Structure 1
Amino acid sequence: MIAHIYGLSYVESDDLHLCRRLCAPSRAYSLVDSSQVSTFLISILLIVYGSFRSLNMDFENQDKEKDSNSSSGSFNGNSTNNSIQTIDSTQALFLPIGASVSLLVMFFFFDSVQVVFTICTAVLATIAFAFLLLPMCQYLTRPCSPQNKISFGCCGRFTAAELLSFSLSVMLVLIWVLTGHWLLMDALAMGLCVAMIAFVRLPSLKVSCLLLSGLLIYDVFWVFFSAYIFNSNVMVKVATQPADNPLDVLSRKLHLGPNVGRDVPRLSLPGKLVFPSSTGSHFSMLGIGDIVMPGLLLCFVLRYDNYKKQASGDSCGASGPANISGRMQKVSYFHCTLIGYFVGLLTATVASRIHRAAQPALLYLVPFTLLPLLTMAYLKGDLRRMWSEPFHSKSSSSRFLEV
């Protein structure tokens, strides 16, 4: 649900904690700015990393099934892992409606629910950032600690790497609550992006089109037309308003005195990536919904490329129509869609500069990712299979990909 609430638009903010209005970029200010370059690079890296983590999770689950069952099974892109959520057509259709309801609740009742929402966000961000740190912690603990799990009673069993990653994540969240620093908020937002891309699946191109088209309409309506109904840009207001710090609220509730817990700053919640410019005069901001939702499509096409490679025993797309050039056959769907995402993000940036107002990033990201993908799938002869056929592979000899 975090991704739904945080379907933000590409905007710029003058101040991280009090970003109540959009800044008007100077005419002399260059389009190539350090804050926007950082936004581009980080968003693309998060999508690539999250997609490969998702693919590796499929391979790990497949290996576990081999160990527990001697019979050979087919590779299933919709993994049987209970922690993985696959979106079906009905969920894809109703998700923008649920997101709109959540947005209205935050718009009208933010003051009433902000503390609860901040605590829930901090808990989810802790788990997500621990997931992001897990590969690094596994690498660090591998030489000096066995991978045996340690029992914690009813809490479950965990490896040393999992305990280390969770401890570091809790420490970072506590420092963020105490300081409210934008860099820590970005780190937590990155964890949320990677976790959602890795744990949520789009099973087919049909569901992908339904989901992204609905979210495009949702994004456009709440950015461009909500002001005519609610006399305020609902999306921008919800995205940018800071929340009361739980420590400050707790101090006031318990009457701990004016000097206890009162110096902590208000928190800008990690539903966006925020990067300062080289001059420090403004921040470039991109919502995690504009990373996660296209990222789910990138994750889907990466898994499909892997499926084709396993099924054909050769490079993906090698069995396409004879009138398609060999060079096009070598271009993967993942690379094509990733380039489309970059172009769409660049177009959203230019549009925000030209109009000097908030732009619904999905208005540009969805066409620039879906249309090249649909065109390439049609030319390669894969459109019918990608549209509705689930993932199946006759080969069970896939190897684990190191990220």
Structure 2
Amino acid sequence: MVDSSRVSTFVISILLIVYGSFRSLNMEQESKEKEKEKEKSGNFGTSPNASPNGQTEADNGMQTIDTCQALFLPIGASISLLVMFLFFDSLQMVFAVCTAILATVAFAFLLLPMCQYLLRPCYTNNKISFGCCGRFTPAEIMAFCLSFCIVCIWVLTGHWLLMDALGMGLCVAFIALVRLPSLKVSTLLLVGLLVYDVFWVFFSSYIFSTNVMVKVATRPADNPVGVFAKKLHLSGLVRDAPKLSLPGKLVFPSMHSSGNFSMLGLGDIVMPGLLLCFVLRYDAHRKTLLSGVEVGLPPPATYYSRITYFHCSLIGYFLGLLTATVSSEVFRAAQPALLYLVPFTLLPLVTMAYLKGDLRRMWSEPFRPSPTPKQFMDV
């Protein structure tokens, strides 16, 4: 019988990737529409921060990972993991406060569409100034206030459900706001993180006499409320303040064995999610190229041409997650999920891109506009 916690992990992780990817695509389309409106209004200048596919990153807050960042990100992640492992007791207050701040901003980003919908009857584009903090719309202010309240309740209660909600916000914000520009950068990043995940799960115990990845992921931090109450000699709050399990993972309680949780790291959702977000954007870009506006040719009639890269990668992610779950049950030990997720998402994508003839384009410059064919030949 399949444990419901495993099913919950599968469903939630796939929904987060799908929602984050479509949120990113929607933000990109909105940015393009704003650029067209600026051109129509007479502002034909090109922004220095414009990306190759015509969007301005400074306006939408998105960040593109380049080749250098993709190569050094696993190294930076290893250093961060090692610092958390060696100096956690000394820096746990810093980790807890920084995590709470990031979770507040990310969860506000997750709640923003709902707040915009609720305020739509009285919604205006007028922004309210908060001095040096910037200018924000009423929906953004409402989302931040709700997010701040959720984080405060999580700090006071330490409930796993609220921790999961904050983790979901972090996943969606990262997938929607961070972009991969090409298949080359995607491959470098995912392969490097695969090596990082395998090393710290399988081989760290030979150096540090314990599994560093599992130790850091499961170690709770002291509650900031309890620490401040202790300094102020408020004994009641010290006893009531629970330890905080930082939202670097999604956990779901098992219905068959009380006290046991199914756990999936946020990195196992975010990193494959960046790849799926990239292929979703490429699917949308490819659709415009094959629509007849720029190319004027019908799409190829092969059977696999009807399957999008996003669907192919999403099915691969599900199969990789299923394989990782089966492996953890068989070996009765923590498994590096990226060891299964990266091959199951990357290899089918590369194979399909080769069959469709898009591999060269996706590898280097996937969003380069195709030249418009001439209607008449020059004589």
Question: Normalized against structure 2, the TM-score is what?
Answer: 0.91
Equivalences for residues 307-322 of structure 1 within 5 A: 307-313=285-291
Matched, 1:39 2:24: no
Q: Which runs of 5+ in 2 are unaligned?
A: 372-379
Q: CA offset at residue 79 of structure 1? A: 3.9
AA matched with 1:341: Y
Instruction: Give the counterpart of 1:266 among 222, 228, 243.
Output: 243
Query: What code does the residue aligned with 1:275 have?
Result: F
> Which segment drifts farther, 149-158 or 120-129?
149-158
Q: Does 1:331 align with 2:307?
A: yes
User: 1:391 offset after TM fit, Å?
Assistant: 1.2
- 1:154 offset after TM fit, Å? 2.4
Q: CA deviation at 1:314?
A: 6.2
**Per-residue deviation, 1:182:** 0.3
Partner of 1:383: 359
CA shift at 1:151, angstroms? 2.1
Shift of 1:374: 0.3
Partner of 2:33: 63
- 8 Å contact kept, 2:67–2:185: yes
Aligned match of 1:140 in 99, 118, 134? 118
AA paired with 2:4? S
User: 1:2-401 maps to which residues of 2 (within 5 A)?
Assistant: 30=1, 32-70=2-40, 71=44, 76-77=52-53, 79-82=55-58, 83-253=61-231, 255-279=232-256, 281=258, 282-313=260-291, 326-393=302-369
Shift of 1:272: 0.4
- Residue 24 of structure 1 corresponds to which residue in structure 2? none
Matched residues in 1 for 2:84 and 2:201: separation?
A: 15
The one-letter amino acid paired with 2:139 is: A
In the alignment of these two chains, the number of paired residues is 361
How far residue 312 of structure 1 moved from its aligned partner, in angstroms, is 1.6
Partners of 2:115 and 2:299 lie apart in 1 by 46
Check whether the contact 1:251–1:262 (CA below 8 A) recurs between aligned residues.
no
Distance 1:125 1:321 in 2: 44
**Shift of residue 278, structure 1, vs aligned partner:** 2.3
Q: Aligned partners of 1:375, 1:242: CA distance in 2, in Å?
A: 42
Q: Match for 2:28: what amino acid?
A: D
The AA in structure 2 aligned to 1:53 is R
| Richer in helix (by share) | 2
3-state SS of 1:266 partner: coil
Are the equivalent residues in 1 in contact too, given 2:250–2:265 (CA < 8 A)? Answer: yes
Shift of 1:279: 3.7
Q: CA deviation at 1:53?
A: 0.6
Range moving further from structure 2, 66-75 or 371-380: 66-75
Say whether the 8 Å CA contact 2:127–2:137 is kept in structure 1: yes
Whether contact under 8 Å (1:58, 1:77) holds in the other structure is no
| Counterpart Cα distance in 1 of 2:51 and 2:230 | 55
Distance 2:197 2:336 in 1: 6
Q: Distance in 2 between matches of 1:236 and 1:345?
A: 18
1:302 Cα shift?
0.3
Structure 2 Cα separation of the partners of residues 346 and 168 of structure 1? 35
Maintained 8 Å contact 1:75/1:394 = no
Structure 1 residues 354 and 41: CA distance shift in structure 2, 3 A: same
Query: 1:10: which partner in 2?
Result: none
1:181-223 deviations in Å (ceiling 9; x for gaps): 0000000000000000011110000000000000000000000
**Residues 173/332 of structure 1: CA separation in 2 closer, same or farther (3 Å cut):** same
The Cα RMSD (Å) is 2.2
SS in 1 for 2:264: strand
What residue ranges of structure 1 are gaps of 5+ in the alignment?
1-29, 396-403
Amino acid of the structure 2 residue aligned with 1:33: D
How far did 1:320 drift?
Answer: 9.3
Q: Percent identity?
A: 70
Counterpart-to-counterpart distance in 1, 2:161 and 2:35: 40
Provide the C-alpha distance between the structure 1 equivalents of 2:189 and 2:343, rounded to a whole number of angstroms: 13
Aligned match of 1:19: none
The answer on whether the counterparts of 2:291 and 2:298 sit within 8 Å (CA) in structure 1 is no
